[in-house]
Structure 1
Amino acid sequence: MAGHSKWHNIQRRKGAQDAKRGKIFMRHAKFIYTAAKQGGGDPDMNPTLRTAIEKAKADNMPNDNIERAIKKATGTLDGASFEEVTYEGYGPGGVAVIVHVLTDNRNRTASEVRHAFTKHGGNLGETGCVSFMFDRKGYIVIIDKEGTFDEDELTLEAIDGGAEDIEVNEQVYEIYTAPEDFEEVRKHLENKGYDIEEAEITLIPQNYSELEEEQQEKVMQLVDMLEESEDVQDVHHNLKVEE
């Protein structure tokens, strides 16, 4: 995982989403719904729900929308029932792609995902065809906005808190943990006074694929089309995107 900035991909995605605010709110609502459905509606007792709420608030989702999604999940408000589905496949140049969706209509979503792969020169594969190329990790981002951090000190604090690895790129600290250590590391860093910019449990590629510019653009067109779907929660890939 070393040598590539996941934060660059996150920033690219957030920039593209600015023009799709309504869809983003819907996506957050479904993510919150699932987290509350599985672990309960109290964010203090449900770390997954707490992370989902924090992400929603970071995108300026209104509190009323957040509370409505939780109430639907806990049975205090009528609403549709959603299920989580994961699709795996290959993009142009053999890039590995994993798509996590939350849907109330599996047939509709499968058709949309398959269409996106086909349109952009990829193909949908069987379950497990690329997931072995990724590791599930806790991922935390801290940004030294004022340029005043002591890199060695922050690195030692992260390791002391239980982090497995840390990368530094232009004042952006990307910290990786085992999934079971994620909450402990995050709390440790917050208690030390660091502001967390991004925090999630996600998939990290074991290795990255490097493609020529033309093929790289085709992969990103596939990713963009997938992310335009209201059902899609996350798209993971192992393309090394040049900054």
Structure 2
Amino acid sequence: MAGHSKWNNIKNRKGAQDAKRGKIFQKMSREIFMAAKQGADPDMNATLRLAIEKAKSANVPNDVVKRALDKATGAGADENYEEVIYEGYGPGGIAVLVYTLTENRNRTAPNVRVAFTKNGGNLGASGSVAYMFDRKGRLFIERTEDTDEDMIMLAALEAGAEDIESSEDGFEIVTEAADFLEVKEALEKDGIEFISAEIEMIPSMYNDIPEGSEEDFEKMIEALEDDDDVQDVYHNASDN
């Protein structure tokens, strides 16, 4: 992957999130609600703690988080969603994973299918692309004039990071999913700030989008991410 493109993609994604704040808040609230049904104390519920951390990184207000927690333990506790994962291919065989939280599969499945087929893709069977991805924690630290590279590298390794990649833009730290929060919290105690820190499905290999298919691919991803039931979309398109 091209390093510059990777960092630009993070900044572009943040800008897109800012433009769709209401929809992002709704999705994060749903994720917190579902996690909190397994226990409303984030210190005792790692899934909830991850959901809250993810919401914070998307600038979700504290009152939105609180309402989701209150709903999970109060009048809305009977409401339920299920996680459904859709797998498929975009233009040129780009592998795509779509994570949804839905209370109505009969609504969600056709919407996801249309987003694929309308833009040159197609849905696949369960397991058709998931094997190409690994669930990992990924943290990005932007380089500044005051950055102490040796300190960051040493702190990340001591915290339990699996891999660290340094570039002129900054640092990409990869962790096992189970170690993500521990590594993140250890680095935060050292005063390190992140421009992005999430558990993601990282592809084991990347493919280039065929020439002429870039616009269809972007439209497909945008249509999927714009769906109210879709929480996350992952793909193995190269950044360059």
TM-score by length of 1: 0.89
Aligned to 1:29: 29
Structure 1 residue 216 corresponds to structure 2 residue 210: no
Q: 1:186 aligns with which of 184, 187, 190?
A: 184
Taking a change above 3 Å as real, the CA distance of residues 135 and 60 of structure 1, as seen in their structure-2 partners, is closer
**SS of alignment partner, residue 195 of structure 1:** coil
Match for residue 130 of structure 2?
131
Secondary structure (helix, strand or coil) at the match of 1:61 reads: coil
Change (3 A) 1:157 1:63: closer
Moved more, 12-21 or 100-109: 12-21
One-letter identity of the residue aligned with 1:70: L
Contact 2:31 2:51 survives alignment (8 Å): yes
Write out aligned runs for 1:54-93 (5 A): 54-74=53-73, 76-78=74-76, 80-93=79-92
Q: How does 1:221-236 map to 2 (within 5 A)?
A: 221-236=219-234
Q: What does the per-residue CA deviation read over 1:7-48, in whole Å, with 9 as the maximum and x for residues that have no partner?
A: 44333223223222221111111111122123x111222233
Residue equivalent to 1:115: 114
d(CA) in 2 for partners of 1:199 and 1:19?
20
Tell me how many residue pairs correspond in the alignment.
239
Whichever residue aligns with residue 93 of structure 1, its letter is G
How far 1:200 sits from its partner (Å)?
1.8
Which runs of at least 4 in structure 1 moved beyond 4 Å after TM superposition?
1-7
Distance 1:168 1:218, change over 3 A: farther
The gaps in structure 2 that reach 5 residues or longer are: none
Q: Share of identical aligned residues, percent?
A: 55
- 118-127 or 8-17, which deviates more: 8-17
Q: CA deviation at 1:125?
A: 0.5
Distance of 1:45 and 1:7 partners within structure 2: 34
Q: Alignment partner of 1:54: what SS? A: helix
1:106 — aligned with what?
Answer: 105
After TM superposition, the score normalised by the length of structure 2 is 0.90
- SS of residue matched to 2:213: helix
Letter in structure 1 aligned against 2:182: E
Instruction: Mark the CA change 1:4 to 1:49 in structure 2 (over 3 Å): closer, same or farther.
Output: farther
> Once the two structures are superposed, what CA deviation does each residue of 1:122-167 show, in whole Å capped at 9, x if it has no partner?
00001110011111111112223x3221223311221121111112
**Structure 1 residue ranges without an equivalent (≥5):** none
SS in 1 for 2:212: helix
| Residues 17 and 35 (structure 1), Cα distance of their counterparts in 2 relative to 1, 3 Å cut | same
CA RMSD across the alignment: 2.1
Matches within 5 A, 1:42-61: 42-61=41-60
Relative to structure 1, is the Cα distance of residues 196 and 43 closer, same or farther in structure 2, using a 3 angstrom cutoff? Answer: farther
For 2:64 and 2:31, the matched residues in 1 are separated by 12
Are the structure 2 counterparts of residues 6 and 234 from structure 1 closer, same or farther at C-alpha, using a change threshold of 3 Å? farther
